[in-house]
Amino acid sequence: MPELPETETIARDLDGALRGAVVRSVELLRTDVLRPRAALARFRALQEARIARVWRRAKSIVIDCGDRALVVTPRFTGALLLDGTPDDTYTCLRFTLRDGRLLRYHDVRRLGSVALLDAPALAAWDAGLGPEPLDPALTTERFSGIIRASRRAVKTILMDQRRLAGVGNIYANEALWRAGIRPTARGASITRARLAALLEALRAVLTESIALRGTTFRDFRDAYGGRGGFAAHLQVYGRAGEPCTRCGAPLRATHALEGRQTVWCAGCQR
C-alpha cells in the first residue's frame, strides 16, 4: 500500500506537471471508487477547473482546484498516471486536460478511493488526521506525548493515521529496527530518549525513501509509470528469516499486530 514516500513522490510529480493546467473533460469509467458514491454528479463541476497545486496529506494525494479538491487515496493497487499508454482496462477516472494530456486514476482491485471535497469538507478531513512526521512542528516532546499516551503496541500507534499521518507497515517496521525498539513494546513504557531516537529514525527512513522515489514490490508506480528504488535498502521488511544486518540474528515475523506482517530482530530490538 502506498505510504508517505510513495504518495509524496506522486504528488511532487503531478504538482510539477499540472500546476495551472485546466481540466477540459472528466470521464467516470468505474463509479465504485467514489466516496461517497452519491458524489457522481458533482464531478461534472471539475470541467474547466484550473489546478492550483497538488500536494500530499497522510497517504492521499490532493489535487487542489480552488474551491474544491480531489482527494485520491490509492491504497493497494491504485495509481495516478499522467499520459503514457492509455490502457483503460483498469481506469476508473480519466481527466482530459485542455492541452491534450490525460490524467488517469487506474486501480486494478478498486480498493482505493476518490473524493471530491469542498473547502469545509477538506478541512474536516484534514482535522481528522494526525501530524505529519516530517513537519518541523512535530517536536520530540509532541511525538513522545502521542506515543506515551497509549498502552497499545508502538507499531500500531505509528500506523494509526489519527495519531500520526502517512506511516504504514513498511516504514513502521524499518524505523523501529533503526531505533532498536521492539514493535510490540507498549507506547507508554518507552522512554522519551528512545522515542527521540525513533522520531529521528522515522524521519531518516522516510526522507531516504522519498529520495529514491518510494518502494515498489509489485504495484506501486509513480505518475509516469516508474518504479520506486527503495526496496533494495530495506533492512527488515520482506526479509523474515534472513540474518539481521546489524547483529546477525535471524529476523522474526508475525501477523499478530493489525493482521499485517511485522518483521523484527529479537537480538537487537528491545
User: With contact defined as beta carbons under 8 Å apart, do 152 and 187 qualify?
Assistant: yes
Q: What is the pTM of this model?
A: 0.94
CA distances from residue 173 to 140, 156, 187 in whole angstroms, order as listed: 20, 10, 15
Which of 28-32, 109-113, 128-132 tops mean pLDDT? Answer: 128-132
Domain 140-265: which CATH number of 1.10.8.50, 1.10.443.10, 1.10.3720.10, 3.30.360.10: 1.10.8.50
H or E, element range at 264: strand 262-265
Domain with CATH 3.20.190.10 in the chain: 4-127
Catalytic residue of the set 59, 163, 182, 221: 59
Q: Among this protein's residues, is 155 annotated catalytic?
A: no
pLDDT surpassing 70 at residue 37: no
Q: Which residue among 3, 8, 132, 174 is the active-site one?
A: 3
pLDDT band at 168 (very low <50, low <70, confident <90, very high): very high
Is there a catalytic annotation at residue 8? no
* Interatomic CA distance for residues 80 and 7, integer angstroms: 10
38 has a pLDDT exceeding 60 = no
Q: What is the DSSP letter of 146?
A: H
Give the pLDDT band of residue 187 (cuts 50, 70, 90). very high
Q: Which three cell numbers stand for residue 200?
A: 529521528
Catalytic-residue membership of 5: no
- Whole-angstrom distance, CA of residue 261 vs CA of residue 259: 7
Which amino acid is located at 197 in the chain? A
DSSP class of residue 41?
Answer: G
CA angle 74, 27, 228 (to 5 degrees): 30
Residues of the chain with CATH 1.10.8.50: 140-265
CATH class of 4-127: alpha beta
Which pLDDT score is estimated for 138?
A: 98
Band (pLDDT 50/70/90 cuts) for residue 85 is: low
pLDDT in tens, 220-248: 999 999 999 999 999 999 999 999 999 99
DSSP letter string over 175-223? HHHHHT--TTSBGGGS-HHHHHHHHHHHHHHHHHHHHTT-B-SSS---T
The rounded distance, in Å, linking the Cα atoms of 74 and 135 is: 22
From 2, 5, 74, 183, active-site residue: 2
Beta strand spans in 3-120 (E): 23-28, 53-57, 60-64, 68-73, 78-82, 91-97, 102-107, 113-118
175 burial type by CB count under 10 A (0-12 exposed, 13-18 middle, 19+ buried): buried
* HSE value, Cβ hemisphere, 13 Å, CA-based, for 167: 30
d(CA 56, CA 86): 25
Cell numbers given for 254: 508475525
What pLDDT score does 43 carry?
A: 80
Give yes or no: 59 in active site: yes
